[in-house]
């Protein structure tokens, strides 16, 4: 491939429906989905992807049945414990974005522990979007900026796109190059709305628990064949 995306973001959709189609509890789909996460992380490292962001739990997901939420939180903690050594082995730095304060204390504690223990790794940055919503993120950023303007920390004339960038959860991440969504849904579901402004969007009918190495490389091949113009003409890009 001539071009590899620097930053890939994935909406891992279809766990519950995958299980329901098999007459199983939705939790079975989430458990199987963890295996797909491991596959994608491994292949992303092999492909020298610098940043990988996974939509693990949205602000809207708090509306789901309490039993499912509790199980998802337990699964998150157990996955972090199980994969901690692999993260370090592969020189992966763990990062989180979202309203982390809304998470249970034990989840926050485990996230803090793994982030601290991988903070010196300088390989791929793996970001988990947990209790995350893009509208909330942008709203919070605007509130912070308005407060600084009122307190004369910054002038309104100086507020530009870079100002907004530095007040987002993703202030240390580059914009997304490739957004992947599984399960056949073709929407972005309040995920990284600011950061995907020029991202290539790849939708697949594969449910996330069935998403494998081949599916990942098909997405990379899709990206490789795209012409990214950023408002310019093809001639300007090729000259």
**Residue 174 in 3-state DSSP?**
coil
Pair of tokens at residue 168: 């987002």
Pairing mode of beta strands 51-58, 178-181: unpaired
The DSSP symbol for 103 reads S
For residue 54, which of 83, 70, 34 has the smallest C-alpha distance? 34
Number of CB atoms found within 10 A of residue 222's CB = 16
Instruction: Please give the Cα distance from 22 to 126 (Å, whole number).
Output: 31
Alpha carbon dihedral 65, 69, 74, 75, in 10-degree steps, equals 100
Q: Count H helices and E strands in the chain, helices first.
A: 8, 6
**Residue 15 in 3-state DSSP?**
helix
Q: Which residue has the tokens 């972005």?
A: 188
83 and 98 Cβ atoms separated by less than 8 Å:
no
Q: Which residue has the tokens 């249970």?
A: 104
Catalytically active residues, by annotation: 13, 61
Residue 46 CA, distance from chain mean position: 18
Residue 93 CA, distance from chain mean position: 14
């Amino acid at each position: 491939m001539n071009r590899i995306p620097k930053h890939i973001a994935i909406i891992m959709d279809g766990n519950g429906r995958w299980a329901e189609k098999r007459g199983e509890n939705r939790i079975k789909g989430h458990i199987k989905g963890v295996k797909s996460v491991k596959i994608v992380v491994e292949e992303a490292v092999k492909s020298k992807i610098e940043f990988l962001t996974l939509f693990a739990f949205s602000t809207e997901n708090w509306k789901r049945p309490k039993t499912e939420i509790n199980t998802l939180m337990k699964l998150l903690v157990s996955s972090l414990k199980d994969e901690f050594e692999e993260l370090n082995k592969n020189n992966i730095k763990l990062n989180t974005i979202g309203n982390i304060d809304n998470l249970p204390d034990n989840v926050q504690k485990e996230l803090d522990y793994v982030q601290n223990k991988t903070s010196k790794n300088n390989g791929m940055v793996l970001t988990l979007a947990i209790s995350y919503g893009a509208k909330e993120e942008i709203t919070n950023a605007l509130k912070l900026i308005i407060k600084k303007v009122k307190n004369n920390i910054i002038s309104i004339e100086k507020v530009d796109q870079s100002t907004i960038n530095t007040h987002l959860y993703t202030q240390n991440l580059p914009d997304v190059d490739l957004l992947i969504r599984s399960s056949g849904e073709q929407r972005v579901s309040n995920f990284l709305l600011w950061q995907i402004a020029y991202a290539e969007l790849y939708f697949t009918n594969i449910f996330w628990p069935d998403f494998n190495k081949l599916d990942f490389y098909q997405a990379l091949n899709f990206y490789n064949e795209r012409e990214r113009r950023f408002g310019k003409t093809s001639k300007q890009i090729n000259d």
